[in-house]
Amino acid sequence: MKANIERVVNRMSLLSGKKSGSTDRRQSLVTLQRVLGCLKPYRVYVFLSIFLAILSVASQLYIPILTGQAIDFMLGPRQVDLGSILPLLGILAITAGLSAGFQWLLSLSNNRITYSLSRDLRDRMMAKLQKLPFSYLDSHPYGDLVSRMIADIDTFSDGILMLFTQLFTGVITIAGILGFLLYINATITLVVVLLTPLSLLVAAYIAKRSFQYFGTQSHVRGEQTALVNEMIEGQKVVQAFGYEGRSQEAFDAINRRLQKVTLKAIFYSSITFPSTRFVNNLVYAGVGLVGALFAIAGSLSVGQLSIFLNYANQYTKPFNEIAGVVTELQNALACAARVFELLDEAEEVPEDENAVQLVSDGNVSVEHVFFSYTPDRELIRDFNLNVKPGQKIAIVGPTGCGKTTLINLLMRFYDVDSGSILVSGTDIRKVTRSSLRSSYGMVLQETWLKAGTIKENIAYGKPEATEEEIVAAAKAAFAHNFIKRMPEGYDTVISEDGGNISQGQKQLLCIARVMLCLPPMLILDEATSSIDTRTEVKIQSAFSYMMKGRTSFIVAHRLSTIREADVILVMNQGSILEQGDHDSLLKKGGFYSKLYYSQFEET
């Protein structure tokens, strides 16, 4: 089976240029081999599908023989032999019923194979997304990832379904018809065989040009999905800055590219049927002409001639279907290649084989850390820091100085290039990521909420929390009052990313989420940036309670919010310029002092 399919793809995926054609052909074959590998868990259904296809085709091909025999029993005036015809009609009805039953079972088997494979690929892609490094997610459009998981797999599953429902059945039909024709009359069969290559050549000519266009179509469609996703997420910003015209121009440019490549792909796929149908009509005409001559000569009965014509008609249909299937298969393989490309991406650095569960006491040490997002631009250089349990560490500095990068390194969203970060005396690369990250409670400037109830969002990090615990956390975060004013209280459903509540309310829910878990270490990255001044005073009191006895890292732009920090790290260009408490840094009159007083001058 694998060899047959490879031969079809090998012939149908040639492109006009030798070099590009050879490359695409190899890619197509490699992708096909991987698809066949994905089918291994369902090989029982694959063999069952082939077996049912043979039974279905055999029963269908037996019907013209019964019809031809019946015709021979009714030739000539008053020579209708009902005694022989009626049993044939009964057998014909039984055969037609069996054929319908086999086709129904074949459809069930094919659907099981196709949609199970689609389910498996989506599961693998979802699992892969959980393991991809943040560097990949930061550098690839989200819309393109969504397009690969949804649109590309849908197209791929449609192609695989056609492969099983039409390609296998078509090949078996062709082989069966040729066998029956050879049994009845070899000369007429030779006419069919001689004309068959015309249909194959036409299909090959069309299919070898379609793969390139369908592959390009998938890539451009991914770009379009990414742009639409970007525009929808940032619609407020788009409108606020009057970017509607330029975003429309960008969309139109991609849309025109998609239109051109889609028209070319559809053009080549749409001329498949008319072209092959013309060749198939030649086959039918040739069989009819030669068969009529044999019938006139008396070496072929009228019933046998009707069998030949019936078979000639059935013989041509699979070529139309196979030509269409090969075209769709090219599209499916192009989409599958994009799916496998994502599945082949390098995952984040694996956990150490002897990784242990971290039990944190809040002690954090950063020793001679170097880090950069890109090799040509160093960001953090020889960074050193020693944090004692329970200390409040504030991190300040101008935009781009490395504050958020430090947080990413502490959480091991990125790994250091050199040096080490130790928590409770253990290198974080020697502990499991889950235990490390569960040791931190994090409230970011950019809030994230999932579609669901308010209760579910607060309990996101602690699903087993009781309602009393959830309410207590909301009260501690000063979110309880606005939640009670919601239509369904804690059972109110909020839309994706909390689109139906204010930014400040979203941030209060994120704070309540951390209040519920209260891990030994906290990270607050501009955690009150979207909250009004009055509420911020209350939140600072809640934070003071929450941070008591816990190591806390506070990233802040408003320096008035970090006066009570035990240690303030003043960063610039990836290095610590100054270090100390608020009063000592002001007395020093250095970089921090200038930053602090500049904020009051601006106000």
Delineate the domains of the chain, giving CATH numbers in brackets.
8-343 (1.20.1560.10)
Helix (H) and strand (E) counts in the chain: 22, 12
Ranges in the chain, pLDDT < 70: 1-25, 75-81, 199-200, 203-204, 207-208, 211, 236, 241, 316, 320, 323-324, 497-499, 527-531, 535, 538, 558, 560-561, 599-603
Pairing outcome for strands 364-371 and 380-387: antiparallel
Coil vs helix vs strand at 364? strand
CB 275 within 8 A of CB 206: yes
Give the 3-state secondary structure of residue 348: coil
pLDDT at 17: 37
Residues whose CB is less than 8 angstroms from the CB of residue 267 and which lie 6 or more positions away in sequence, other chains included:
none
Q: Pull the structure tokens for residue 390.
A: 């329970």
CA 25/CA 88 separation, integer angstroms: 50
Name the phi and psi angles at 385, rounded to 5: -160, 140
CB 88 within 8 A of CB 66: yes
Rounded CA-CA distance 173/315 in Å is 7
| φ and ψ of 226, to 5 deg | -65, -45
Q: Is 569 helix (H, G, I), strand (E, B) or coil?
A: strand
CB neighbourhood size of 442 (10 A): 20
- Residues 229, 251: contact at Cβ < 8 Å? no
Q: What is the DSSP string of 424-465?
A: TTEEGGGB-HHHHHHTEEEE-SS----SEEHHHHHTTT-TT-
* Residue 2 identity (one-letter amino acid): K
User: What does the pLDDT read at residue 98?
Assistant: 92
Whole-angstrom distance, CA of residue 537 vs CA of residue 308: 91
Which one, of 516, 561, 513, lies nearest residue 537 by Cα? 561
Count of positions (residues) in the chain: 603
pLDDT at residue 564, as a whole number = 78
Give me the pLDDT at residue 7, please: 43
User: 441: which 2 tokens?
Assistant: 């409670």
DSSP summary character for residue 30:
H
Q: 3-state DSSP call for residue 553?
A: strand
Cα–Cα distance, 109 to 258 (Å, whole number): 35
Which structure tokens are listed for 144?
């393109």
What does the block give as tokens for 42?
A: 């369902």
For the chain, the straight-line distance linking the first and the last C-alpha, in angstroms and rounded, comes to: 76
The DSSP symbol for 376 reads: T
Rounded to whole angstroms, the Cα distance separating 552 from 545 reads 12
- The pLDDT, as a whole number, for residue 178 is 84
Residues with Cβ within 8 Å of 59's Cβ and at least 6 positions away in sequence, in order, are 95, 96, 98, 99, 102
How confident is the model at residue 25, as a pLDDT?
Answer: 65
Report the pLDDT value the prediction gives residue 337, as an integer from 0 to 100: 87
